[in-house]
Amino acid sequence: MDASLAVTALGALAHEHRLAAFRLLVECGPEGLAAGVIAERVGIPASSLTFHLQHLLRAGLATQRRLGRQIIYAADFAAMNDLIGFLTENCCGRGLSARLTTAAACTTIAESSLAKRKAP
Amino acid sequence: MDASLAVTALGALAHEHRLAAFRLLVECGPEGLAAGVIAERVGIPASSLTFHLQHLLRAGLATQRRLGRQIIYAADFAAMNDLIGFLTENCCGRGLSARLTTAAACTTIAESSLAKRKAP
DNA sequence: ACTATATTTCTCGAATTATCGAAATGATCC
DNA sequence: GGATCATTTCGATAATTCGAGAAATATAGT
């Protein structure tokens, strides 16, 4: 993932309603959720929701598929992992070569969850 | 970290120049970098840079201190770790409690490549 | 074909964000 | 105290984003 893609993804998540919608999608897994349900749960009109879902789609953070008369959105976990990978490597002191004593500060998280996912 | 704080932080990073500046700060570690140097390296006028650095400050992603006649900015690694922690727990399928068989799916994706993500 | 349902597109005003030069502030050196 | 360097604040302008209703599109059932 390059910086400009990351900016797009970050921007897509940097909004109350979009973050809420995305978290909802994450909760539902690959199965996804119909647009109407998302709108209702997030508490915004359908047209507004579409506007925001388009953001997530453009950023590659969500996918869309039709199921009968409804359209199902699902979180794209791979994209989200890429984003977290980018942040971890480029914005957190990790993945930056030796001259950083900073690495230690960040190692904390490295243990707890991901980080070893992409051994150099 | 709560959602609204995360939105602020994501928004702060969701801009080409701010992300560039922040990455620069991360590279420099706690030692930080003078505003002038950042402006030069990012390639924008000083007044524009200030505007963006204020964003990072407000979001808690950077700190400010004066050193002689220059003002040194440094990345706040703890805040960044909090953000990554939030994303990992709330937006990535991990850290979501039991009723999710989805968690497994996300982990799988993380490990391998993804491809078969579209299973019913 | 007609009706109902689900969602998107369109449109436009309001609000926010971005850009940059000029002027103001703060600190240092003589 | 005056000159100078580093940075921020101000102000004007341009661009983008947001919100929501109305109209349009697609699907399903009768």
- Could you write out the DSSP letters of every residue in B3-17? HHHHHHHHHHHSSHH
Positions on chain C within 7 A of a protein C-beta: 4-10, 17-23, 26-28
Whether B111 shows a pLDDT value over 70: the answer reads no
Alpha-carbon torsion (B98, B102, B103, B108), positive or negative: positive
pLDDT of residue B94: 65
Residue B22 at interface with chain A, using a CB cutoff of 8 Å: yes
What is the per-residue pLDDT across B77-89, written as a single tens digit (0 to 9) for each?
Answer: 999 999 999 999 9
Stretch A45-64: mean pLDDT, rounded? 97
Whether A69 and A97 map to the same domain: the answer is no
Whether A66 and A23 map to the same domain: the answer is yes
Query: How far B95 CA lies from chain A's nearest CA (Å)?
Result: 10
- Domain enclosing residue B21, as ranges: 1-120
In 3D, which of A71, A78, A62 has the Cα closest to residue A22?
A: A62
pLDDT of residue B100: 38
Total domains in chain B come to: 1
Whether A97 and A66 map to the same domain: the answer is no
The CATH code of the domain that includes B21 is 1.10.10.10
Instruction: Tell me which DSSP letter residue B78 carries.
Output: H
B 47-106 residues with CB < 8 A to A = 75, 77-78, 80-81, 83-85, 87-88, 90-94, 96, 100-102, 105-106
Residue A118 pLDDT level (bands cut at 50, 70, 90): very low
Cα–Cα distance for residue pair A105/A94, rounded to 1 Å = 9
Whether A58 and A88 map to the same domain: the answer is no
Question: Is strand D within 7 Å of residue A77 (CB)?
Answer: no
What is the per-residue pLDDT across B54-70, written as a single tens digit (0 to 9) for each?
Answer: 999 999 999 999 999 99
Q: For B69 and D3, how far is CA from C1' in angstroms?
A: 15
Question: Is strand D within 7 Å of residue B64 (CB)?
Answer: yes
In 3D, which of A42, A82, A50 has the Cα closest to residue B92?
A: A82
Residue B118 pLDDT level (bands cut at 50, 70, 90): very low
Whether A64 and A9 map to the same domain: the answer is yes
In 3D, which of A63, A8, A38, A28 has the Cα closest to residue B102?
A: A28
Residues 6+ apart with CB under 8 A from A48: A17, A39
Instruction: Tell me which DSSP letter residue A64 carries.
Output: E
Whether A75 contacts A26, CB under 8 Å: yes
Return left, alpha or beta for B42; rule: phi > 0 is left, psi -120 to 50 is alpha, else beta.
Answer: alpha
Q: For B89 and D26, how far is CA from C1' in angstroms?
A: 37
pLDDT of residue B105: 34
Whether A72 and A106 map to the same domain: the answer is no
Residue linked to tokens 């909802």: A24
What is the per-residue pLDDT across A16-38, written as a single tens digit (0 to 9) for each?
Answer: 999 999 999 999 999 999 999 99
Whether A18 and A65 map to the same domain: the answer is yes
Whether A58 and A94 map to the same domain: the answer is no
